[in-house]
Amino acid sequence: MRILVVEDEEQLADAIESMLKKEQYFVDKVFDGQDGYDYAMSGIYDLILLDIMLPKMDGLTVLKKLRDNGISTPIMLLTARTEIDDKIKGLDLGADDYLTKPFNKGELLARVRALTRRKGEIPTNELEFKDIKLNQSSYELICGDNSIKLGGKEFKIMQMLMYNTKNIISKDEFIEKIWGYDSEAEYNSIEVYVSFLRKKLNAIHSTVQIKASRGIGYYLQ
């Protein structure tokens, strides 16, 4: 389970992070709305905790843009007591829940469990697209009776593509998510792994293709 925390009060963000990490969730945290939006667009999260008052882009705008772009990740808004209108607006815009600050640890964790459980009810550890399945435990890519194991980086690239089949994923997004912001990875690293993945798709006789889009990024077809 991977959770994105978008909260500009860094102490609060740190506190939420440590509460969640203790419960074995993976946590990414960012401190403004623009980063929140960019991270969330990867589609790799099981839940997003989203503050409303944020620099660069407010939480409700982030929420609306994500839903407009087909991101259906459960979102819990973090609101101040005075922001009652925003709560209602947020729920109308497609938030799944909200939590009023200040909140206690038990309340946060109970709601996180409820929201991640709802998504987890789909009893599968596999992602599916057309004739392929990706097993997220064994890192196997499966097409009919054929399967092939993916390396760590290949798996992450494939996972991002399969989570997010409606959008082109840019090379920058791959690099940020897989190698991290301050890595030395360059575009041709992505190209190399994509070429490995294409060979593996051929090897299992899948009709799925990884298409390149005008130097911007990649998508599945």
Q: What does the binding site for Ca ion look like in residue numbers (CB under 5 A)? A: 8, 51, 53
Instruction: Let me know: does 211 contact 221? Beta carbons within 8 Å.
Output: yes
- Among 218, 147, 207, 205, CA closest to 178: 218
Report CA dihedral (210, 213, 169, 191) to the nearest 10 degrees: 60
Closer residue to Ca ion (CB): 6 or 157: 6
If phi over 0 gives left and psi between -120 and 50 gives alpha, with beta otherwise, what is residue 56?
A: left
Smallest gap from residue 1 Cβ to Ca ion (A): 24
Closer residue to Ca ion (CB): 8 or 126: 8
Q: What is the C-alpha to C-alpha distance for residues 36 and 145, in angstroms, rounded to an integer?
A: 40
> For 146, phi and psi rounded to 5 degrees?
-95, 145
Closer residue to Ca ion (CB): 7 or 154: 7
Q: What is the C-alpha to C-alpha distance for residues 61 and 53, in angstroms, rounded to an integer?
A: 10
Closer residue to Ca ion (CB): 30 or 150: 30
Smallest gap from residue 54 Cβ to Ca ion (A): 6
Residue nearest to Ca ion (CB): 53
Closer residue to Ca ion (CB): 6 or 162: 6
Smallest gap from residue 52 Cβ to Ca ion (A): 7
Cα dihedral sign for 90, 94, 99, 101?
negative
Closer residue to Ca ion (CB): 8 or 46: 8
Q: Which structure tokens are listed for 42?
A: 């990867």
Smallest gap from residue 181 Cβ to Ca ion (A): 22
Instruction: Let me know: does 93 contact 67? Beta carbons within 8 Å.
Output: yes
